[in-house]
Chain A
C-alpha cells in the first residue's frame, strides 16, 4: 500500500488527483475518481455561479468522499465562483491560469484546502507564502494550457524550494511515471490524459478514440508565440492554428477568436475537424478503456511494485 502525507491531509486513499479539464471534468468523472479513492476535481472553467453550484450539488449526490473544484483564474466569472466554493463548502480548491493570491485568504479562512497549479519555482514560493496547502507542479508535457518547464526538472526544483507537499503533473499516466514522480520528491500525482478514456468520462467517443490511437508524436503546441501555450492532439484545427500562428504570423488578436468554442466542439460534439482536443504527450501510452477505479488501482499497484523492486539497482 502506498503511503503519502497527502492521503492523511486530504482524507483520500490514493495520492492521485484527476486534473480539472474544461468541458471534460464534470460531476460524473470527479465523483467516480473520488469514489475510487483519488481526488476528483470539477473544472470550474468559465461556469457562472448557477452552473458551478449545480455541478457541485450533482457531485454530492454521487459521492460523500472529498473532492475538489478547479478555479480557472482567467474566467470572467472568477469572482463569483470564488464565492461559490466557499458557499458550497468545497473541501479542496485547485487553481489554474494565474496567481490566486487575491482569493487565498477567504478560502483558507473558510477551511478550504488550497492547492495551486504552478509552473515555476517563483509561483510555488508565492503559493506557499500565501498559505497554500500544497502545490501541483505541472510540466509542459501536459495537455491544455502549459508553462515552459518540463516535469523532470520542475519537480525536484520545486520540492527543494518549498516546505509544503508537492504533487507532480505532466507526462504521468502509469505506475512508472508515478514512481518516478515520487522519486523526484513529489508526494502524489495529478493525471488528466489517462482519465480522458475512463468509462465515467462523458466526453464524445471520437475524443476517446483519438486519445487511444495517439502515438508519441501526435500532440502539438499552439499559442507559444503569443505567450498562451496550449497542447492538443494534431488535427485539422490545431494544425491550421499552428500554421496561422507560426507561418502566416497572424497577430494575437486575430488568433484568439479562432479558439472560441473549440473545446466544447471537441469534448461534447466530437468534431474531429474543428474541435480542439487537448491532450498530453503521454497519450501514446494510453491504450485501453477502463473505469476510474481500475485506472487508479492499476497505476498505484504498479507504482508500488516498482518502488518495492527499486533496490535491484543497489548492491
Chain B
C-alpha cells in the first residue's frame, strides 16, 4: 500500500519514488490543497477506496493508516 501511494505521488510530482519520504508532510513535498484534492481523487480511483479530506491526513504514513483502517 505504502509503495503504491509513494509511486502515485512520485509520478504526480515527476520525481523518483526514492526521493519521497513517507513521513514528510504533503506541504514539504510541495503539494498544496488543490494538488491534494487531485491526488486523492486519483488514489481513490486506483485503489477503490474513499478518502475524506482532513487537515490531519498530512503525510503518506497517515494516509496509509487511514486507508488500512477502512478495511
Query: Measuring CB to CB, which residues of chain A are less than 8 angstroms from any residue of chain B?
Result: 98-99, 101-102, 119-120, 122-123, 125-126, 147-148, 227
Contacts and interface: CB of A to CB of B under 8 A. Distances in A.
- Going nearest first, the 6 A-B pairs with the smallest beta carbon separation are A99-B53, A122-B37, A122-B38, A120-B34, A101-B52, A122-B41
A267 B25 CA distance: 36
Nearest to B53: A99
Contacts of A123: 34, 37
Given A122-B34, A122-B37, A123-B37, 18 more contacts: A98-B53, A99-B37, A99-B52, A99-B53, A99-B54, A101-B52, A101-B53, A102-B52, A119-B34, A120-B34, A120-B38, A123-B34, A125-B41, A126-B40, A147-B34, A148-B32, A227-B27, A227-B32
A98, A120, A122, A148: which has the most chain B beta carbons within 10 Å?
Answer: A122
A123 B33 CA distance: 10
A102 B52 CA distance: 7
B34 to A, nearest CB: 5
A122 B53 CA distance: 12
Given A122-B41, A125-B41, A227-B27, A148 B53 contact: no
B41 A227 contact: no
9 contacts: A99-B52, A99-B54, A122-B34, A122-B40, A122-B41, A123-B34, A126-B37, A147-B34, A227-B33
A125 B34 CA distance: 13
A142 to B, nearest CB: 15
Contacts of B34: 119-120, 122-123, 147-148
A227 B36 CA distance: 12
Interface string B36-54: 0110110000000000111
A102 B57 CA distance: 14
Interface in B18-34: 27, 32-34
A119 B32 CA distance: 12
Contacts of A102: 52
Contacts of B33: 227
A98 B57 CA distance: 13
Contacts of A120: 34, 37-38
A123 B52 CA distance: 12
Given A99-B54, A101-B53, A227-B32, A126 B41 contact: yes
Contacts of B41: 122, 125-126
Contacts of B38: 120, 122
Contacts of A227: 27, 32-33
Nearest to A228: B33
A174 B33 CA distance: 31
A47 B27 CA distance: 29
